[in-house]
Amino acid sequence: METTLLTPAETILCKDERGMLGSFYTSLLRTIRIADDENRHRLSLGFSELVEAVQRYRNEDGYSQTIFDKWNKENPNHIIR
């Protein structure tokens, strides 16, 4: 059974989608997205949940819509379409 609450990493991805992140997480997400496999593995040592969420966002059908739906339910004043 999948949880109905966003994980901290999913919240970061949604905030990125809304342009609500500060420079640290914006830079970290950019770095994770452009890293090769070896460097992505290194990043996962410190940010495992976020690296996994980015990978799922990029590769898993329906994952982005699932987290956007959760976000919209939790944050009705900041809807992601």
Would you say 10 and 78 are in contact if contact means Cβ atoms under 8 Å apart? Answer: no
Distance from C-alpha of 34 to C-alpha of 40, rounded to nearest angstrom: 9
pLDDT digits (tens, 9 = 90+) for 62-78: 999 999 999 999 999 88
Distance from C-alpha of 80 to C-alpha of 69, rounded to nearest angstrom: 8
The pLDDT of residue 7 is above 80: yes
The pLDDT of residue 23 is above 70: yes
Q: Is the dihedral of CA 61, 66, 72, 78 positive or negative?
A: negative
Which pTM value belongs to this model? 0.89
Q: Is the dihedral of CA 56, 62, 68, 74 positive or negative?
A: negative
pLDDT of residue 1: 46
How close are the terminal C-alpha atoms of the chain, in Å?
Answer: 25
